[in-house]
């Protein structure tokens, strides 16, 4: 038989899975087709390229991941090993993360309950996660208390807000002897800047809004968020490579990706897009929704470097299944990386963006004069 060039892939002959099979062996040797194969490709892309020393890794997260415990089980271990450099999250994930850090509980439940009965008993449901309504009131009270302090009486980026809040949450963790349970506290410790793309779209934002009615001077500066995240990516591209790990989709997905159009299209700074793109999503690409938008589509916007498109993987799977496997694989395969502590370098990186913008603006003025004379 004449061998086709299409038949040069590894033969599908997996060994039997046993009680001794490790997660790494399972992924590498048993995830051979369909979205299992995409998850294998995701794990290998993450560990073999995205975690190289010169790569800056940004993570976006949507969906109720922290209520399901993924902050504790996955994201904190990844941060502590230097595998996450910066984060864009929904405000809801950060708000629910706070429950754990201040000693409040969430419980396993069922999605098949009478929600009218739950409401009567003061129980709140996130699909099959249950918690007391007082958890919300206590967390609201915590945020209202800390934002009354002097350090919050100013305009700041969402990263600065979350960093300051993370310090208070860490103090509560220590006082209560909880161990490391809060993503925000862990980010504070590791110097990982945490942004939210929609500061008003969460209970944290609602409590800030209430405080404004009471005369509080705290304001979240979204323009600073846009420029700070672009500064992180510009520095990453000038010193090495930029990678994005997208958990779900929505606004945080666009926010982490729009850094490149902001650099290229709006600021006029020459660049080619993110180098590595890894998304875990259950959204279809054919409905026009952002969550299903493919890496190829992102190339047309300048979000992804077209020369790096082979280094892009989309795994159509539930994040609550795929992320623990990706985390276990990465921790088993890759040595820890030194923390980049990008939060501590925000002013330096911001200044670098300002300089690059000024240079591109001067060049643009020269180009205009040349074309009009």
CB 76 within 8 A of CB 325: no
Query: What three-state secondary structure class fits 213?
Result: helix
- Distances 149 to 78, 138, 168, 193, 205 between C-alpha atoms, Å: 32, 18, 11, 21, 17
d(CA 222, CA 244): 21
d(CA 124, CA 122): 7
Catalytic, 303? Answer yes
d(CA 329, CA 22): 9
Cα-based torsion angle of the residue sequence 350, 354, 356, 359 in order, rounded to the nearest 10 degrees: -170
CA angle 211–212–214, rounded 5-degree value: 65
d(CA 76, CA 73): 7
- Distances 359 to 209, 261, 270, 366, 371 between C-alpha atoms, Å: 38, 18, 11, 11, 19
d(CA 25, CA 95): 36
Which residue in 286, 285, 277 sits closest to 256, CA to CA?
Answer: 277
- Distances 229 to 92, 130, 145, 161, 218 between C-alpha atoms, Å: 20, 34, 28, 15, 21
- Half-sphere exposure (Cβ direction) of 242: Cα atoms closer than 13 Å: 25
The Cβ of residue 286 has, within 10 Å, a number of other Cβ atoms equal to 7
- Among 2, 164, 303, 363, the one annotated catalytic: 303
Which residue in 38, 288, 52, 249 sits closest to 257, CA to CA?
Answer: 249
Report the relative pairing of strands 129-132 and 123-126 from DSSP bridges. antiparallel
Q: Which residues pair with 330 in a beta bridge?
A: none
Query: What three-state secondary structure class fits 281?
Result: strand
Catalytically active residues are 303
């Amino acid at each position: 038989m004449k061998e086709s060039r299409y038949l040069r892939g590894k033969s599908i002959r997996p060994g039997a899975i046993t009680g001794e099979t490790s997660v790494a062996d399972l992924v590498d040797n048993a995830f051979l087709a369909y979205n299992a194969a995409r998850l294998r490709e995701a794990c290998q892309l993450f560990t073999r390229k995205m975690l190289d020393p010169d790569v800056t890794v940004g993570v976006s997260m949507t969906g109720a991941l922290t209520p399901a415990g993924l902050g504790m089980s996955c994201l904190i271990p990844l941060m502590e090993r230097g595998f996450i450099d910066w984060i864009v999250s929904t405000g809801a994930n950060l708000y629910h993360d706070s429950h754990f850090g201040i000693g409040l509980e969430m419980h396993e439940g069922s999605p098949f309950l009478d929600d009218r009965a739950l409401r009567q008993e003061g129980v709140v449901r996130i699909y099959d996660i249950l918690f007391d309504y007082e958890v919300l009131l206590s967390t609201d009270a915590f945020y209202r208390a800390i934002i009354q302090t002097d350090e919050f009486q100013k305009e700041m980026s969402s990263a600065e807000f979350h960093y300051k809040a993370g310090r208070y949450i860490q103090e509560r963790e220590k006082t209560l002897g909880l161990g490391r349970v809060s993503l925000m506290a862990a980010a504070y410790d590791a110097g990982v800047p945490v942004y939210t793309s929609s500061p008003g779209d969460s209970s944290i934002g609602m409590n800030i809004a209430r405080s404004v009615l009471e005369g509080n001077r705290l304001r979240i500066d979204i323009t600073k968020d846009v420029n700070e995240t672009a500064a992180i990516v510009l520095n990453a591209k000038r010193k090495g490579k930029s990678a994005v790990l997208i958990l779900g989709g929505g606004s945080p997905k666009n926010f982490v990706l729009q850094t490149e159009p902001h650099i290229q299209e709006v600021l006029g700074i020459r660049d080619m897009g993110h180098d590595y793109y890894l998304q875990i999503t259950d959204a279809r690409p054919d409905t026009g929704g952002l969550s299903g938008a493919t890496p190829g589509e992102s190339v047309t916007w300048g979000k992804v470097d077209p020369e790096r498109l082979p280094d892009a993987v989309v795994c159509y799977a539930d994040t609550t299944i795929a992320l623990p496997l990706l985390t276990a694989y990465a921790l088993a395969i890759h040595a820890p990386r030194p923390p980049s502590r990008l939060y501590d370098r925000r002013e330096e990186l911001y200044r670098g963006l300002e300089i690059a913008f000024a240079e591109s603006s001067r060049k643009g003025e020269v180009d205009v004069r040349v074309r009009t004379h």
